[in-house]
Amino acid sequence: MKVSIAIERSIEIPAPVAKVQTLFKDLEGTISRFPKLRKLTKLADDTYLWEMGTIGSSIANIAHEVSYAAKYNIDLKSNQLTWQPVPKKGNANIEGAFKLAERGDKTQLTFKVRGDLYDVPVPLMYRLLAPPFIQGKFTRLVDIFLERTSEALMQAPAPAAKRKAK
């Protein structure tokens, strides 16, 4: 069964945009905070294959190990990181974006993701319930990811101030 997901979540981080941009500069470190990520493989520059642990419920017999590849694009001037799926890699096509917006001395981090999961094994009697159930599971993973990301940023030192040329 194909299941589509679409999630948009925001979190306010008590740090300036320059500090939050460090997420983009440490792409592997940022990705590694995602829950259920079992293995991350670099395929090329800014291109990674995600292999995730089982997502779902063994009780309902709806469990899927998602894998997909994505090519990441970092645009520091517009304060965003986007990713596009790499075709024919894994059992999902996932695209998304991290967007940063200045809010005084804070930063609003918005995370958007959407895509399709393929070959999800779902018993016939759960076909109607499976899409919202899986969407809910992914939404919870995104919430945990954003919490972990915020905590990591609060523990990281502030970026060094640029020195003015004389």
**Which CA distances in Å does 159 have to 18, 22, 25, 69, 79?**
7, 8, 12, 30, 16
Distance CA 27, CA 29 (A): 5
| 1 C-beta neighbours (distance < 10 Å), count | 17
Q: What is the mean pLDDT of the chain?
A: 91
Q: What is the pTM of this model?
A: 0.88
Among 138, 107, 103, 128, smallest CA distance to 5 is for: 138
Question: What is the predicted pLDDT for the residue at 166?
Answer: 41
Structure tokens at 49: 């294959």
Per residue in 89-116, pLDDT tens? 999 999 999 999 999 999 999 999 999 9
How far apart (Å, rounded) are the C-alpha atoms in residues 86 and 95? 9
- Is residue 161, in this structure, part of any structural domain at all? no
CB proximity list for 68: less than 8 A, separation 6 or greater = 49, 50, 85, 86, 89, 90, 91, 92, 93, 94, 115
In this structure, is residue 164 part of a structural domain? no
- On whether the CB atoms of residues 117 and 5 are closer than 8 A, the answer is yes
In a domain, 166, yes or no: no
Confidence at residue 158, expressed as pLDDT on a 0 to 100 scale? 53
Q: Domain range spanning residue 43?
A: 3-155
Flag whether 160 is in a domain.
no
What's 96's domain CATH number?
3.30.530.20
| Domain total in the chain | 1
Residue 165: pLDDT over 60: no
Amino acid in position 38: R
Position 126 in a domain:
yes
